[in-house]
Amino acid sequence: MSEVRCPFCGKINTADAEVCSTCGSRLQALQNSVPEETEETPEWLVNLRKRAQLEANLSASTPPFHSTDDAEDDPPDWLQSLKEAASQVNTDFTDTGDQAETEETPADESTSPFTVDDQSWLRGLAGDTPEVTPKPEPEKSEPESVAGPVDWARRLANEPIAQQQAEDDEPEDTEAFPVENGELLSRLESWTAEPVPLERKTVETPPPSSPAFTVDEAEIEEGEPEAEEIPSEESTQPPFVFDSSDEEGSESPFTVPVEEPEEPEPSLEGFPDWMKVEPEFGATAGDDTGAERLVFLDEDEAQKLPEAGEAATEDAAPELESVFLPEEEDETEVSFDEEPEEGYQPPPFMFDDVPDWLENYAAELPAEELVEPEEPPADLESEVPAVPFTPFSPEDLTESIDLPDQPVEAQPFTETPAEISAAAEDDELLPAQLPGWVEAMRPVESVLSTEGIRSESEQRIERSGPLAGIPGTIPGEDLATRYHKPPVYSSKLQITEKQRLHANLLEAMIAETDEPAEAEPVRRARPSALPRLLVAALMIAAILYVLVTGTPLLPRPYLYPAETAAFQSTLQYVIESERPVLVVVDYQPAYSAELEAAANGPLQDLAAAGVGLAFVSTNPAGPVLGDRLADNLAAQHPAFSTTDDAINLGYLAGGSIGMQALVQQPSRAILSTFEGDDAWGSPLLSGIQSLDGFGGIIVLTDTDEKGRDWIEQVQPHIANTPMLMIASAQAAPLLQPYVQSGQLAGMLSGWYGGVSYNAIAGNPSGAQSVTWTAYQVGIALMVVLILVGALIQGIVSLISARKQDSGA
Amino acid sequence: MQLEFIWTVVGFLLTLLVFSYLLGDNPLFRIASYLFVGVTAGYLGATLLYQVLIPKLLWPFLIGSTTEKILAGVALLLVLLLITRLFPALSAASSIPMAYLVGSSAAVIIGGAVLGTIFAQSRATASAFSLAAGTAPAAAGLQLLDALFILAGVIATLAYFHFGAKPRANEAPSRGPLINTLAGIGQVFIGVTLGALFAGVLAASLTALIDRLNFLWNVVFNQLL
């Protein structure tokens, strides 16, 4: 395995990484806690077996710690008492079966010789609770043979409960236990009779860089979550026991002697039910640490063996050297100080805390107290196969202890490394101290959440890596891949300065439109009936007065517009050309009075000169108006014939397009006369193929649009034919530029233009003079009325303004 | 004589009906209005039928040459397609003759405007400054003054119709000061022009009034009395 996936964040890290490079989670400890299911016997196990075999041989051959010189030194008083208690317990332990039925001892004080020397003494070394420290009290005559195994087993099963119950001094446990567990006690007696545990606890001196300690701490940190899942029988066993129970032949040499007394597990049947049902208390860190102390002491003992071997027996020295010298080299290489693990909590007695006397304790103790020949049980020896010996490696030991005995259902790993370390430290002080009733009082949410996560995680089976095959592993990868960072969208709109200006402009416009219009009372100038009737009456009366009376006759104008003079001169040129004239009648009947009066003089001049007139119109009503003009001319000039001197070409359809067609080919634009006769076959128009065949074109129009259309569409295409315009007074101002530009040869503007033309041409017209007088009277009256109206409006506005000023 | 008198009386009555509008909108005025509209529509229909459809569409399609028939057939097809506008299901077909009419009319009008108005008026404005040889100094001065006045009027009027303005932040768009000044001058020219147009409308209306009053007086004085 070259890489490790972090269970927290799912990131892949290198195999040698201790912590995750992404989230900083601890990886090494998790790896150590992961059981490896290998078919082959691991190397560490082989080393341990070799070491166990060698140790067994060494113990059987020579008691290594007998009568050393250093052991003769004076130990401390308490240590001396401890030694005495240990020796006394050894002797008492053999009489356990006899005294079990008669003696009743409190749970905390009744310890077997093994358990007293092993756990109490070790806890004293580890700085554990002082009540566990062995206190050989001679005044207590209570035999400990019965209470010892009970307390020992109770400690293995559940030390807090044992302590709690010991305070209550419940006699049920101690009374029932000797009867029910006689077999167990006998086995314990036989097991504790073996000198191995005593040898190890007394000889032990923890080295500063013991790899076993590292393993113990790592296991302590993870022992808490696993304690709930391990069965009671397994949890009651020390951590080093399951190594042998799990796999046959994979027993570590250091765990073999200690495990042997645990073999009679069926003896637990005699224990009360509460000890079986609550296995989590049996797997407490206290017991584990006690057992791990044994492992630690075994390791240390193994390191001390060569020295002790030299002092005790000479024949064992070469063998020890051949075995342990390489181990010391490995230990120096893999020291705890060199590779501290994150979250690791050193034991209180480790390194600096270990007093000097304790370091030299192994040498100071007497040989008979320190060393007792340890012989592995026969059955265990039969279980442990003989394997070739290989030098022991601390890493192997570390892995061996971290590995669980069987695939353990992994609990959701929800704690941070810091919490794990804190929990491990707490577990070491107060292992599994929550009683059942407190567990029942826990918040429901925590239980539910844990169960929910667990049920979800149990459905997962790891397929690769160190957790392969284990169901219910931590779904770190799924959790890491399930959640993603929410996409971040920029709330800032990227626009240019120009766009910003436009946006501001649009916003200003919208703001202006959104503003409600001020509802100002608007006084609408309604044309009331009275002023309208008054003005109409004035106008009608004035005009009728002139028309009826014919007085006063006003003279003709003496000043003539330039376009009128140009019109008169051009018309003279047309008359002299003796070619027919095209008269365009493009005005509405409502303006016939104005335009007929304006065109009467020029048409009379043409008719008097015998010039033929061809009438055409783009207005449907134009042909009728053309006939009217011809009839008026015929009435005024008897020589003018409407059939010979005039022709009505009728209606020219198409507007501007019809004009363009007339310019291009007149005969195709106008097929017949208004009466339906052949137009271009008449004597008047014979020989005319285009508009240039006419002597001139006179356009009568009441709108500037019609006049401009004729100018734009026809005038550019006629070269030798002048175009004259007789326009209404309302259209003349807009057609005036075409006169100044020369596009129109001349123009008559309304009635005034006609009168001016008659004045220039010298045409006498009495009727025109009366109407001209009426026209001038009417114009004067209109001007007066406009001025009066403006004056009245000004006065009213001034009065209203003063009223507003006075009111304000 | 009698027929002419009848039509004169009819004209006299219709004129009075129209004058009744001085009292406001009334049925008499509406009768005269509807009568004129109806007569005009009938007259237009008859005119178009006899002046356009029969001589320019029907006869060429019936008795014309092959070319005339083809051309008349195309025109007839366009007419039929234009009639489909009366039916919503087939009205889409009328877009073809409408497109032809609009396109051809636009082309003709734009071409005439460019040639007959823009180029001609621009040339006329510029030629006003060309003094003919031998022109008297006084006349030349007046001509030059007139040309300058016309030029100023043209520029000022065009400036008035220049509605472009630079956008300014948090301010209403407004024209530049130069354009604004010229637009003010152009507004004067435009006002004078509109005044002249209004005067022409009044003059034309006054002429019509005088004609109708003269007609009435003549009818009353000559026919009735």
The per-residue pLDDT for range B32-88, each reduced to its tens digit, is 999 999 998 999 899 889 888 888 888 888 888 899 899 999 999 999 999 998 888
Give the mutation candidate from B151, B193, B207 for the A interface (greatest A CB count, under 10 A): B207
DSSP string, A213-259: HHHHHHHHHHHHHHHTTS-HHHHTS-TTHHHHHHSTT---TTTHHHH
Question: CB–CB of A743 and B115 under 8 A?
Answer: no
pLDDT band at residue A455, thresholds of 50, 70 and 90? Answer: low
Residues 480 through 539 of chain A touching chain B, CB cutoff 8 Å: 500-502, 504-505, 508, 512, 529, 532-533, 536, 539
Give the span between the Cα atoms of A586 and A597, in whole angstroms: 15
Supply A114's token pair: 């093994």
- How near does any CA of chain B get to the CA of A6, in Å? 58
Which of the two residues, A807 and B118, has the higher pLDDT score? B118
CB-CB neighbors (< 8 A) of A632 in chain B? none
Q: Look at residue A788 and tell me whether its pLDDT is greater than 70.
A: yes
Question: If you average pLDDT over each of A305-319, A462-476, B10-24, which comes out highest?
Answer: B10-24
Please name the amino acid found at residue A188: L
Is residue A93 a contact partner of residue A192, using CB atoms and an 8 Å limit? yes
Please name the amino acid found at residue A674: F
- Candidate from A252-256, A567-571, B137-141, B199-203 with smallest mean pLDDT: A252-256
CB-CB neighbors (< 8 A) of B170 in chain A? 504, 508
Closest CA to A193 of A277, A93, A107: A93
- How near does any CA of chain B get to the CA of A541, in Å? 10
The pTM assigned to this predicted structure is 0.51
Is residue A775 a contact partner of residue B210, using CB atoms and an 8 Å limit? yes
Share of chain A above pLDDT 70, in %: 46
Tokens 């049902």 appear where?
A277
Share of chain A above pLDDT 90, in %: 16
pLDDT band at residue A60, thresholds of 50, 70 and 90? Answer: low
How many CA atoms lie less than 13 Å away from B39 in the CB half-sphere? 9
Question: CB–CB of A708 and B117 under 8 A?
Answer: yes
Taken in order A600, A602, A605, A611, is the CA torsion positive or negative? Answer: negative
For chain B, say whether A447 makes contact (Cβ under 8 Å): no
Give the span between the Cα atoms of A761 and B40, in whole angstroms: 37
Residue of B nearest to A543 (CA): B210
Q: Look at residue A783 and tell me whether its pLDDT is greater than 70.
A: yes
Q: Look at residue A538 and tell me whether its pLDDT is greater than 70.
A: yes
Give the span between the Cα atoms of A562 and A684, in whole angstroms: 32
Question: CB–CB of A713 and B116 under 8 A?
Answer: yes
Please name the amino acid found at residue A47: N
Tell me what pLDDT residue A797 has.
92
pLDDT band at residue A44, thresholds of 50, 70 and 90? Answer: confident
Question: CB–CB of B24 and A529 under 8 A?
Answer: yes
Residue of A nearest to B39 (CA): A621
Tell me the three state secondary structure of residue A617. Answer: strand
- Give the number of other CB atoms < 10 A from CB of residue A489: 6
Q: Look at residue A423 and tell me whether its pLDDT is greater than 90.
A: no
Tell me what pLDDT residue A744 has.
93
Question: CB–CB of A656 and B47 under 8 A?
Answer: no
Supply A511's token pair: 């703001």
Instruction: Identify the DSSP state of A393.
Output: -
Q: Look at residue A463 and tell me whether its pLDDT is greater than 50.
A: yes
Query: Could you tell me which residues come within 8 angstroms of residue A544 by beta carbon, excluding any fewer than 6 positions away?
Result: B213, B217
Question: CB–CB of A547 and B112 under 8 A?
Answer: no
Which of A547, A671, A711 minimises the CB distance to B116? A711
Tell me the three state secondary structure of residue A210. Answer: coil
For the residues A463-481, what does the mean pLDDT come to? 68
CB-CB neighbors (< 8 A) of A734 in chain B? 193, 197
Residue of A nearest to B68 (CA): A668
For the residues A507-527, what does the mean pLDDT come to? 73
Residues 142 through 161 of chain A touching chain B, CB cutoff 8 Å: none
b/e per residue, A392-421, with b = 16+ CB within 10 A?
A: bbbbbbbbbbbbbbeebebbbbebebeebb
Residue of B nearest to A673 (CA): B51
CB-CB neighbors (< 8 A) of B115 in chain A? 712, 716
